Amino acid sequence: MNGNETEGHVDDLLAPYALDAVDDAERARVEDHLETCAHCRRELADLREAVVGLSDGHELAPPPGVRERLLEQVAAEADVVRPLRRRRGPQWVWGVAAAGLVAVGAWGVWQVFDEQLTAVDQVVQAQDAVRHEAELDGVPVVVVTSAEQDRAVLEAADLPDLPAGQVYQAWFVREDGVIDSAGVVADPASDAALEGDPEGSTAVALSVEPEGGSEQPTSEPVVAIPLEG
């Protein structure tokens, strides 16, 4: 098939690539090329079907515990994420959020006013204050809610820095799947009162949004804090 070794194609690397038998530099080269070359994409799809045949006959049932743990974990994630997915469609993938931050767009900043600083104290010191916690890349992210105050506070957290023009925005994920903005987080390193009433929410989610925030999330959530109870 030397006739196919057209300069610029990656024919000699496609088969090793289909087997993951390439180093990182080669993988990058192949993937760059695939972006623009339908011929090589077709060839790769073809080779990958052959690769499927390599593991024919090696079937081995996983230990039963795997299924149980998976379904549990998936159910836990779905409780938080399903409303987001339903709303945004399948392109709004939770997985990338779990893997870390994905930067998008360009953004602005919103001020923390004195009125909101006061609200922080009112919520955090409320008799019925409840702390809800999740993790983002090992960093705890805490939301405090108070039904009495009808407010929620996002506690100061060491969130990853965002590129200029991008900002964290908080969202109330309602039981019925509606997603309401809870405001742009001007400074994650300070406690911030969220806009709106947390009542009827299953979670507070954070996403990275463009300047000034968005009416609805335009990127994947980077973390969701379930509001249990």
Partner 1 sequence: MSPPPDLDLGELLRATAGGDQQAFALLYDSTGARVHGLVVRILRDHAQAEEVTQEVYLQVWRTASSFDPTRGSARSWLLTLAHRRAVDRVRSAQAQSDRDQAYESRHDRPAPDPTAEEVEHRMQGQAVRSAVQELGPPHQEALELAYFEGLTHREVSERLGVPLGTAKTRIRDGLRRLRDQMGGRA
**Which residues here bind Zn ion, judged by CB under 5 A?**
9, 37, 39-40
- Contact between 15 and partner 1 by CB under 8 A: the answer reads yes
Strand partners, 226: 203
Site for partner 1, residues 170 to 189, rule: CB under 8 A: none
Q: 17 vs 172, which CB is nearer to partner 1?
A: 17
The interface partner of residue 95, options being Zn ion, partner 1, none and the CB cut-off 5 to 8 Å by kind, is partner 1
- Contact between 58 and partner 1 by CB under 8 A: the answer reads yes
The interface partner of residue 7, options being partner 1, Zn ion, none and the CB cut-off 5 to 8 Å by kind, is none
Strand extents, DSSP E, 54-191: 130-136, 139-146, 151-154, 166-174, 179-185
The interface partner of residue 131, options being partner 1, Zn ion, none and the CB cut-off 5 to 8 Å by kind, is none
Exactly one of 7, 35, 56, 114 binds partner 1 (CB under 8 A); that residue is 56
Instruction: Tell me the site size for partner 1, rule CB under 8 A.
Output: 56
Give the integer Cα–Cα distance in Å for 128 and 149. 9
Buried b (16+ CB within 10 A) or exposed e, 65-76: eeeeeeeeeeee
- Contact between 47 and partner 1 by CB under 8 A: the answer reads yes
Burial bucket for residue 100 (CB in 10 Å: 0-12, 13-18, 19+): exposed
Give the integer Cα–Cα distance in Å for 204 and 183. 11
Strand partners, 152: 145
- Contact between 25 and partner 1 by CB under 8 A: the answer reads no
Q: 60 vs 164, which CB is nearer to partner 1?
A: 60
Exactly one of 28, 31, 32, 69 binds partner 1 (CB under 8 A); that residue is 69
- Contact between 82 and partner 1 by CB under 8 A: the answer reads yes
Strand extents, DSSP E, 148-220: 151-154, 166-174, 179-185, 192-193, 201-210
Number of neighbouring beta carbons within 10 Å of residue 51: 13
- x/- map, 91-130, partner 1, by CB under 8 A: xxxxxx-x--------------------------------
